[in-house]
Chain A
Amino acid sequence: MTTISRHEFLLRARLDQATLEAWVTEEWLIPGGSAGAPAFTDADLARAALIHDLKHDLAVNDAGIGVILGLIDQVHGLRRTLADLLREARERGRAPE
């Protein structure tokens, strides 16, 4: 995945520097790279859009956002494991016991 600089990320996510720093402090966003030169990805950009939606469109408060992000990440993990499981089951030609 190609990386996006802080400057480009702020522009594309339509965020200001202070908001970005607050979101990173909350660990809602975890950029790669180093502290001085963080590197973002398209996944970070989509996650920032989700945080924006939760905060502004759905009026979720800050405590709730962390909880929701954590649960969504778990759901993604579960769906992925389930997909692997089904693939494995199909390859073995039988349903899991």
Chain B
Amino acid sequence: MRDPYEVLGVERSASLDDIRTTYRKLAKKLHPDLNPGNKKAEEQFKEVSSAYDLLSDPEKRARFDRGEIDATGAERPRQRFYRDFADTDHAYADASGFEDFAAGDDIIAEILRRQAQARANAPGADLHFRLAVDFLDAVNGATLRLTVPNSETLEVKIPPGVEDGQVLRLRGKGAPGRGTGKPGDALVEIAVNPHRFFTREGDDIHLELPITLTEAVLGGEVPVPTPTGTVMMRVPKNSNAGATLRLRGKGVHRASGGHGDELVRLKVMLPPGPDPELETFVSGWVTGRAHDPRRGMQP
């Protein structure tokens, strides 16, 4: 980093007005957008700008003069220059400057015709959207409406089994093209909301199902929610807490056909509050006292 006084070519005693005038003179000469194609101008402009940033701020200038900060203390981050977009098709592109050359049937006329055609029929841009989808809509599929910035409404068909983060492409629903140019696509990123009790792993649905002590010990038919509605499931006699039962085909639709499974993990729930009858039974229950479920857990 060179000395900022040297960069601007001013005396150390120069007034703020002198510095400003000098900077403007240099900036008019060096601004990259006034020098498209001149790579050196950008380097020089950056140097001049950061020297000016430092010297135009009385506080920073004083600190620099006292040697408290170095010349890099004030470099401002700069976004891209307008000239970086000179080759892109934006609303300001203007190719009228060669029009008077285009009269004949020569190479320039041909190139201008091709350019004009490309511009006139430029395809539309792709537009990006995000759509929050309920868990069950993601599993079962749905048709949702998405309001897009130009106040139109897009109908989005959610295929069954869509995953969080998946991007759906709606052909032709992006920005309109010019002339005969095709419209762009709408790219919709899916964000799946979590469910109160279902979770998903791959094609399988996981569910923790509370059952009573009676159901765990004696077994029985219990209602189980699945993404497509409630089904009855047989809990075998003497089912333990944590045991996992599989409901085949009740999981997520697979793109390759078929469905995943729903895995139901049992969770034994005692009734709320102490129950004297249960306490009496358990106190006198010999097998219960002898059973050590932690045997084999010694580290």
Interface residue ranges, A against B (CB under 8 Å): 1-3, 5, 12, 30, 32-34, 36-37, 39, 41-47, 49-50, 53, 57-59, 68-70, 72-81, 84-85, 88-89, 92, 96
Contacts and interface: CB of A to CB of B under 8 A. Distances in A.
Given A30-B91, A57-B23, A74-B96, A79 B37 contact: yes
B82 A57 contact: no
A70 B29 CA distance: 18
B95 A49 contact: no
A69 B33 CA distance: 10
B13 interface: no
Nearest to B49: A57
Interface string B163-205: 0000000000001000000000000000000000000000000
Nearest to B90: A43
A10 to B, nearest CB: 14
18 contacts: A3-B128, A33-B150, A37-B150, A46-B81, A46-B85, A49-B79, A57-B27, A58-B27, A58-B28, A59-B24, A72-B34, A72-B83, A76-B83, A77-B93, A77-B95, A77-B96, A78-B97, A89-B107
Contact of B36 (A12, A45, A58, A75): A75
B85 A36 contact: no
Contact of A80 (B87, B91, B151): B87
A10 B83 CA distance: 21
Given A69-B92, A72-B82, A80-B86, 20 more contacts: A3-B127, A30-B91, A33-B149, A39-B149, A42-B80, A46-B79, A46-B85, A47-B85, A50-B33, A57-B27, A58-B28, A59-B24, A75-B36, A75-B97, A76-B83, A77-B94, A77-B98, A81-B98, A85-B111, A92-B107
A2 B128 contact: yes
Contacts of A75: 36, 97
Interface in B2-40: 23-24, 27-28, 31, 33-34, 36-37
Contacts of A36: 151
Contacts of A39: 149-150, 175
Contact of A1 (B36, B88, B108, B149): B88
A81 B27 CA distance: 27
A30 B206 CA distance: 52
B158 interface: no
Nearest to A82: B98
Contact of B125 (A1, A30, A69, A72): A1
In the complex, the 3 A-B pairs of residues with the closest C-beta atoms, listed nearest first? A76-B86, A43-B85, A77-B95
Nearest to B94: A73
A53 B151 CA distance: 34
A92 B27 CA distance: 41
B95 A80 contact: yes
B178 to A, nearest CB: 11
